[in-house]
């Protein structure tokens, strides 16, 4: 069985086959770095991270490109708005590139915490002005674009396939067009490839048409061509970018190159918060930093980044996802259950006796692996894949309870946790802080001293004193658990 992906272009699930055997090029629309990343970014980039991880798991050699937009993305209509970076720069009294640098770092920081694998290449739009100018020149030469007053526009009527991705009809769009926003354009649907910059515009570059800056859609065409060639295997992005952004990318790229731009279009759905579109005016706009720290009035506590990740994986990437405090809370509980189980398996693995791995268990593990792969192959059904991880949790807990599994058996369980839950889903870590390290060793000793004190109190039936120790430790995030073979502790 092989991977099937839903291709937005054909509106159907298709068997995935890369253009070059064994190699896959993935391009995903990255963030415009004018603010901290929010929950919407998390859903999008976690979804594509899982796609990339799974392609790697299947043995493909993947080149993952995700741009950083630091110029050209306007706040409003493509013809009249201001550049988002310029607006933020004015507000923060910084140079636009300083703003871009600051939020780019913030973005990577958040994505690292969500355990998203870093893209192989994170090209900046501002670093590819030369290439963008070249593409505009090509489009002018081929007659798909025209210059007007220092700006260059793409003439949509020249590209017959315009609208094929988003299912839009150019004639209807023209008929239903609102007031024409720019007299320079021949048709309202035409879009800017290059915009003339007024003298006081901070970000501008020289061009054959005078000083200016690139249109937003241009960067993705140029950078995906440059780093992945044509056609690219997979282009991902948010569903809201189907139109106009991706439609424009297709038009520019295919008009210029005369070959198919993208083989598989993958779009992920959007998030809502408490059932409504996330927006600054609704007071439900939650950044990842706020979610991780709990510093938002819609949240009752801080959430582990990987619990956020797990909530995202709990639903399908093409379904909308509603973030709410109860949903996050549930995800955190489930995440902790998985984490505690993995830790317990690893701990017992070191204590368990040697011996061949249990054949019946090995068979069960194999079945779980197959079920997991079948789910992932079906257009990345992470919801079912995650349910397999929970089946593995149950299997593992039973083994631990019986306390008879050999180290080899437990190792096989841990291996599956690592490969499926770790490599593919990114919710199981290779190592947990408590697993080792000098500080933790000291911590172990300190807590053991307290446990000894408490045990002494318990054996003389002084439960008040015993409970006091337990309660105080819990107050600082250490939970004591009395097991048949003694008291154990863990971090909350």
| Residue pointed to by tokens 């929950």 | 39
Q: How far is the CB of 258 from RNA (least distance, A)?
A: 26
| Distance in angstroms (rounded) separating the CA atoms of residues 204 and 470 | 63
Closest by CA position to 345, among listed 409, 414, 285, 398: 414
Structure tokens at 178: 């609102």
Q: How far is the CB of 488 from RNA (least distance, A)?
A: 8
Q: Which is nearer to RNA, 398 or 472 (CB)?
A: 398
Backbone phi, then psi, for 414, in 5-degree steps? -60, -40
DSSP codes of every residue in 153-214? EE-GGG-TTTTTTTT--HHHHHHT--S-S-TT-SSTT-EEEEEEPPTT-SS-B--TTSSEEE
Sequence-distant (≥ 6) Cβ neighbours of residue 370 within 8 angstroms:
none
Q: How far is the CB of 219 from RNA (least distance, A)?
A: 10
Q: Which is nearer to RNA, 74 or 225 (CB)?
A: 74
Q: Which is nearer to RNA, 205 or 329 (CB)?
A: 329
| Distance in angstroms (rounded) separating the CA atoms of residues 492 and 490 | 6
For Cα atoms 295, 113, 293, give the angle at the middle one, nearest 5 degrees: 10
Radius of gyration over every alpha carbon of the chain, rounded to an integer in angstroms: 27
Q: How far is the CB of 83 from RNA (least distance, A)?
A: 10
Q: Which is nearer to RNA, 360 or 438 (CB)?
A: 360
| Distance in angstroms (rounded) separating the CA atoms of residues 20 and 216 | 29
Structure tokens at 338: 């998985």
Q: How far is the CB of 476 from RNA (least distance, A)?
A: 15
Q: How far is the CB of 244 from RNA (least distance, A)?
A: 5
Q: Which is nearer to RNA, 19 or 324 (CB)?
A: 324
Instruction: Give yes or no for a contact between 3 and 376, defined as CB atoms under 8 angstroms apart.
Output: yes
Q: Which is nearer to RNA, 210 or 292 (CB)?
A: 292
Q: Which is nearer to RNA, 137 or 291 (CB)?
A: 291
Q: How far is the CB of 426 from RNA (least distance, A)?
A: 17
């Amino acid at each position: 069985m092989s991977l099937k992906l839903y291709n937005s272009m054909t509106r159907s699930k298709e068997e995935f086959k890369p253009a070059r055997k064994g190699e896959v090029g993935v391009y995903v629309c990255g963030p415009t770095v004018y603010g901290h990343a929010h929950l919407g970014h998390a859903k999008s980039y976690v979804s594509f991270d899982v796609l990339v991880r799974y392609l790697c798991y299947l043995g493909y050699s993947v080149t993952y490109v995700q741009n950083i937009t630091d110029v050209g993305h306007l706040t409003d209509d493509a013809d009249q708005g201001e550049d988002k970076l310029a607006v933020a720069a004015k507000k923060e009294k910084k140079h636009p590139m300083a703003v871009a640098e600051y939020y780019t770092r913030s973005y990577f920081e958040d994505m690292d915490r969500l355990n998203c694998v870093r893209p192989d290449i994170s090209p900046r739009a501002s670093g590819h002005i030369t290439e963008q100018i070249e593409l505009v020149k090509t489009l002018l030469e081929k007659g798909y674009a025209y210059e007007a007053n220092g700006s260059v526009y793409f003439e949509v009527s020249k590209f017959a396939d315009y609208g094929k991705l988003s299912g839009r009809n150019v004639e209807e769009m023209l008929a239903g067009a609102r007031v024409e926003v720019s007299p320079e354009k021949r048709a309202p649907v035409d879009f800017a490839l290059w915009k003339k910059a007024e003298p006081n515009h901070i970000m501008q570059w020289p061009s054959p048409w005078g000083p200016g800056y690139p249109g937003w859609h241009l960067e993705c065409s140029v950078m995906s061509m440059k780093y992945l060639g044509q056609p690219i295997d997979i282009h991902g992005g948010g569903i809201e970018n189907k139109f106009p952004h991706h439609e424009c990318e297709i038009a520019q790229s295919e008009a210029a190159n005369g070959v198919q731009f993208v083989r598989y279009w993958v779009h992920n759905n959007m998030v809502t918060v408490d059932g409504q579109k996330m927006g600054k005016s609704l007071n439900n706009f939650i950044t990842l930093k706020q979610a991780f720290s709990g510093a938002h009035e819609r949240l009752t506590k801080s959430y582990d980044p990987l619990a956020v990740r797990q909530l995202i994986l709990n639903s399908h990437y093409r379904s909308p996802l509603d973030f709410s405090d109860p949903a996050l809370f549930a995800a955190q509980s489930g995440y902790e259950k998985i984490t505690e189980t993995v830790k317990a398996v690893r701990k017992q693995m070191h204590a368990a006796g040697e011996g061949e791995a249990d054949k019946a268990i090995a068979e069960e593990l194999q079945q779980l692996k197959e079920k997991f792969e079948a789910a992932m192959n079906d257009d990345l059904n992470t919801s079912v894949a995650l349910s397999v991880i929970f089946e593995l949790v149950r299997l593992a807990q039973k083994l631990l309870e019986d306390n008879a599994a050999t180290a080899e058996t437990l190792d096989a369980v841990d291996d599956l946790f690592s490969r499926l839950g770790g490599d593919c889903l990114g919710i199981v870590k290779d190592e947990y802080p408590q697993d080792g390290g000098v500080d933790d060793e000291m911590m172990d000793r300190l807590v053991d001293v307290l446990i000894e004190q408490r045990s002494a109190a318990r054996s003389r039936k002084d439960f008040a004193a015993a409970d006091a120790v337990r309660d105080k430790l819990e107050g600082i995030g250490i939970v004591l658990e009395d097991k048949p073979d003694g008291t154990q502790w863990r971090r909350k």
